[in-house]
Amino acid sequence: MIKESVIKEFLSNNSDDEIRYLGMRLTERLQDDLAEVFNFIGKSSARNVAIDEMFGSTTTANELYDCCDAFQDLLCEDAARRKVSLVRVKPNGERR
Taking the chain (96 residues) in runs of 10, the rounded mean pLDDT of each run is: 82 91 89 89 74 89 92 94 82 56
Tell me if 89 is assigned to some domain: no
Which domain, by its residues, includes 8?
Answer: 4-81
pLDDT at 44: 66
- Return all residues near 76 (Cβ < 8 A) that are at least 6 apart: 23, 27, 86
54 occurs within a structural domain:
yes
Residue 88 lies in a domain: no
- Kindly state whether residue 92 falls inside one of the protein's structural domains: no
Split into its structural domains, the chain has a count of 1
Inside any domain, residue 95: no
Report the sign of the C-alpha dihedral through residues 40, 43, 47, 50, in that order. Answer: positive
pTM, rounded to two decimals = 0.81
Q: Could you tell me if residue 46 is inside a domain?
A: yes
